[in-house]
Amino acid sequence: MSAQHFDEVPGRFKVRDLSLAAAGRHQIRLAEHEMPGLMALRAEYAAAQPLAGARIAGSLHMTVQTAVLIETLVALGAEVRWASCNIFSTQDEAAAAVAVGPNGTPEDPQGVPVFAWKGETLEEYWECTEQILLWPGEGPTMILDDGGDATLLVHLGVDFEAAGAVPADLAPGDPGYSHEYNVILGVLRRSLPVDGQRWTRIAQGIGGVSEETTTGVHRLYQLAEEGRLLFTAINVNDSVTKSKFDNKYGIRHSLPDGINRATDVLIGGKVAFVAGYGDVGKGAAESLRGQGARVIVSEIDPICALQAAMDGYEVARLEDVLGEADFFITTTGNKDVIRTEHMTRMKDKAVVGNIGHFDNEIDMAGLAAVPGARKTEIKPQVHEWTFPADGDRPARSIIVLSEGRLLNLGNATGHPSFVMSNSFSNQVIAQIELFRNAGAYPLGVHRLPKVLDEKVARLHLDALGVRLTQLSKEQAEYIGVDVAGPYKPEHYRY
């Protein structure tokens, strides 16, 4: 990344090209209509400005929907700096529009510093992550994280500062080496010699982090268990209005969308294999059945397996259906779910895609190493992998989507705005809680109180024409709840 990206407007780091801002603004305006939760929060808190004084460092896919989130945080009084949490996921026009701001112009941008563009290198990515934490003057008061990269950088910086050691430049073969890890260390190799307390100061200023996804939450629980967590955390991922909506209904929308845009292949009448029947798998299976496919599910958890069977799906193992399925979709969040031993034996022209989370659910590295395998780009993010004939098996090919990464992001546009409005309303409320109600969240990993989860749901009902029934006082007492909620015990599963 060259200075040009940082210095266009002095003191203000910028996306590369502000000329896209008008297009982005138009899309943001349409998205606002589909994000009633965020717009309702703006209306509710416009006067109170609960985030006045807050400085929020955000690391989350820089999309049109995120733009509505960012501008909601700003509307509630916060200062914000933003990076994406994925090198490919930035929508440049959204980034530009946010940087310009609703009332600025490309010539006189008045928006939020955005450190993100589509197609960053790993080096650029981690430099961007660093930038959102380097506030002019004081550091951030909160992190809004997706996957935990911003939180990781702070924790790693504090560790090395505590050890007083500039990290070494690792090479392949060194213990702990991975390319990306060494890039992260590179950020610290630059910062520690300059300021040996920078990350310690930043960590001390942070009142908490709100985390968006399973992966990031998993890291946070590990830090907490190990006693290494530096600031409190709110687990947004496990709000009902996140996990049961984003994961299930978002996937129901974006899985067939991604398959269609990638392949134009008929789904109806075909056999679709779905690995995993958690929330993502449930949404995936429902959407494929809704298109007329016959869905076969695999599971490692007997409870989820039983649910799949009771929902009318065949439950089998991947190795049993290789010659039968036309689509193979992973939703597990585990690694090595589809392996080369599977891919080389699939039906000719089978479509293989991942909508779980990790890009190692499909063994892409192994695939590249299959002797004789040849990769042909059909179009960006859609590749045909051809395997040579082998004994009695004729040559055949499979179609791999998004190089094994999340196909709904790579081949379509991710979750639609309405779904993200649920997730992001949780984020906004979590940020308010961390800033205004810190006492309720001692050091540790917390979920939002159920009544706030219910509030997020409530904000989305009008847009769907839902008319809620009101409990009478007598009825509320009868079941032992407050008329205003929360209505269910903590362990309720929805």
**Would you list which residues are annotated within the binding site for NAD(+)?**
213-215, 247, 276-283, 299, 334, 355-357, 408, 415
User: 208: alpha, beta or left, given left = phi > 0 and alpha = psi -120 to 50?
Assistant: left
Residue type, 470: Q
Q: Which is nearer to its own copies, 337 or 434 (CB)?
A: 337
For residue 247, the tally of other CB atoms under 10 A from its CB is 25
Q: Which is nearer to its own copies, 78 or 351 (CB)?
A: 351
**Rounded CA gap, 306 and 313, in Å?**
10
Q: Which is nearer to its own copies, 203 or 318 (CB)?
A: 318
| DSSP strands (E only) in 311-455 | 314-315, 327-330, 350-354, 374-379, 382-387, 396-401, 445-446
Q: Which helix (H) or strand (E) holds 82?
A: strand 79-83
Give 94's DSSP letter: H
In the complex, the smallest distance separating the C-beta of residue 196 from its own copies, rounded to whole angstroms, is 33
Residues forming a β-bridge with 18: none
**Rounded CA gap, 420 and 34, in Å?**
9
Pairing of strands 396-401, 382-387: antiparallel
In the complex, the smallest distance separating the C-beta of residue 400 from its own copies, rounded to whole angstroms, is 14
Q: Which is nearer to its own copies, 85 or 308 (CB)?
A: 308
For residue 150, the tally of other CB atoms under 10 A from its CB is 27
Can you tell me which residue has the tokens 């040579």? 388
Q: Which is nearer to its own copies, 201 or 345 (CB)?
A: 345
Closest alpha carbon to 86 in 363, 358, 425: 358
**Rounded CA gap, 212 and 417, in Å?**
16
**Rounded CA gap, 374 and 492, in Å?**
50
In the complex, the smallest distance separating the C-beta of residue 284 from its own copies, rounded to whole angstroms, is 13
Residues in the chain: 494
- What is the CA 379 to chain-centroid distance, rounded? 25
Annotated binding site: 63, 146, 212-215, 242, 246-247, 276-283, 299, 334, 355-357, 408, 415
Annotated binding site for substrate: 63, 146, 212, 242, 246
Cis peptide bond prior to 486, omega within 30° of 0:
yes
In the complex, the smallest distance separating the C-beta of residue 136 from its own copies, rounded to whole angstroms, is 36
Q: Which is nearer to its own copies, 5 or 242 (CB)?
A: 242
In the complex, the smallest distance separating the C-beta of residue 276 from its own copies, rounded to whole angstroms, is 9
Residue type, 92: D
In the complex, the smallest distance separating the C-beta of residue 235 from its own copies, rounded to whole angstroms, is 9
**Rounded CA gap, 324 and 317, in Å?**
12
Q: Which helix (H) or strand (E) holds 379?
A: strand 374-379
In the complex, the smallest distance separating the C-beta of residue 164 from its own copies, rounded to whole angstroms, is 31
In the complex, the smallest distance separating the C-beta of residue 269 from its own copies, rounded to whole angstroms, is 4
Burial class (CB in 10 A: 0-12, 13-18, 19+), 359: middle
Residue 488 tokens, joined: 């269910």
Under 8 Å CB-to-CB from 28, ≥6 apart: which residues? 64, 67, 68, 71, 94, 97
In the complex, the smallest distance separating the C-beta of residue 157 from its own copies, rounded to whole angstroms, is 25
Q: Which is nearer to its own copies, 137 or 312 (CB)?
A: 312
For residue 11, the tally of other CB atoms under 10 A from its CB is 8
Q: Which is nearer to its own copies, 193 or 465 (CB)?
A: 465
Q: Which is nearer to its own copies, 107 or 490 (CB)?
A: 490
